[in-house]
């Protein structure tokens, strides 16, 4: 059953994504192939907002950033700064737990070629807005990439033009502080757009903010 912060397994809202989901179910019956739920407690003070599930990552495993390169860098960094504990082993049953952190995506279903349309992003934003509203202790949001950033800004009731995306950007908003980073995708890391140190610097700033 759908909740305000989580679409149901057969969410019908985006026809293109529904069709893609059905094709993947036919090809990979043992994969998750459904909207991917948020990972972590709603009582967390930190929310990380990505773009969308990767085809062979979260769409396969059912946990955000699990099963692809982006998760390797993200979870290694979270463990390093005390936002997670355990061992990340690319499986939802690897025992990894988040500490004071929740992870979600701007779009909950895998899009073809990892590219959701503007309409799909807007349609799925209701779930992101509800996710934020369900976090009473929320103090910091990390956005990964411009699409996730802009959608999170809109979900917070603001206009992206007033809260522009930039790697390492920090915006003190009314209720939360927003930190932005390039997405931790394999493409960005392979091309040097994002280095592991650049990524760690963002979470070091978040750690200082929450510990202050």
Two structure tokens written together for 42: 């709603």
For the chain, percent of residues with pLDDT exceeding 90: 97
How does residue 145 score in pLDDT terms, banded at 50, 70 and 90? very high
Confidence check: pLDDT of 2 > 80: no
Q: Tens of pLDDT along 66-91?
A: 999 899 999 999 999 999 999 999 99
Confidence check: pLDDT of 1 > 90: no
Q: Which helix (H) or strand (E) segment is 96 a member of?
A: none
Whole-number average pLDDT of the chain: 97
Q: How many CB atoms lie within 10 A of CB 31?
A: 17
Cα–Cα dist 59/155, whole Å: 23
Q: Tens of pLDDT along 167-201?
A: 999 999 988 999 999 999 999 999 999 999 999 99
Residue 212 exposed, middle or buried by CB count within 10 Å (0-12, 13-18, 19+):
exposed
Q: Which helix (H) or strand (E) segment is 166 a member of?
A: none
Cα–Cα dist 172/5, whole Å: 24
Confidence check: pLDDT of 96 > 60: yes
Two structure tokens written together for 11: 């969410």
Supply the pLDDT for residue 198.
98
Supply the pLDDT for residue 3.
82
> Across residues 115-142, what is the average pLDDT?
98
Confidence check: pLDDT of 117 > 90: yes
Residues 37, 43, 49, 54: is their CA dihedral positive or negative? negative
Cα–Cα dist 8/21, whole Å: 13
Two structure tokens written together for 85: 């504990």
Q: Which helix (H) or strand (E) segment is 84 a member of?
A: strand 84-85
Q: Tens of pLDDT along 6-62?
A: 999 999 999 999 999 999 999 999 999 999 999 999 999 999 999 999 999 999 999
Q: How far is CA 93 from CA 61, 90, 201, in A?
A: 10, 9, 29
CA 115-13-17 angle, to 5 degrees, is 35
Confidence check: pLDDT of 146 > 90: yes
> Across residues 129-137, what is the average pLDDT?
98
Supply the pLDDT for residue 30.
97
Q: How many CB atoms lie within 10 A of CB 140?
A: 21
Neighbouring-strand partners of residue 177: 140, 172
């Amino acid at each position: 059953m759908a909740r305000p912060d989580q679409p149901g397994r057969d969410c019908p809202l985006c026809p293109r994504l529904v069709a893609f989901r059905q094709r993947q179910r036919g090809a990979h019956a043992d994969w998750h192939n459904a909207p991917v739920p948020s990972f972590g407690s709603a009582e967390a003070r930190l929310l990380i907002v990505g773009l969308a599930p990767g085809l062979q990552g979260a769409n396969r495993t059912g946990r955000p950033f699990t099963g692809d390169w982006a998760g390797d860098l993200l979870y290694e960094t979270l463990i390093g700064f005390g936002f997670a504990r355990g061992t990340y082993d690319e499986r939802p049953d690897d025992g990894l737990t988040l500490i004071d952190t929740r992870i979600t995506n701007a779009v909950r279903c895998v899009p073809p070629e990892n590219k959701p349309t503007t309409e799909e992003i807007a349609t799925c934003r209701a779930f992101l807005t509800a996710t934020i509203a369900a976090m009473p202790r929320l103090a910091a949001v990390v956005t990964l990439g411009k699409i996730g950033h802009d959608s999170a800004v809109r979900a917070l009731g603001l206009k992206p033009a007033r809260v522009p995306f930039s790697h390492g950007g920090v915006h003190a908003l009314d209720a939360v502080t927003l930190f932005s980073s390039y997405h931790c995708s394999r493409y960005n890391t392979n091309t040097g757009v994002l280095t592991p140190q650049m990524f760690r610097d963002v979470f070091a700033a978040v750690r200082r903010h929450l510990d202050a």
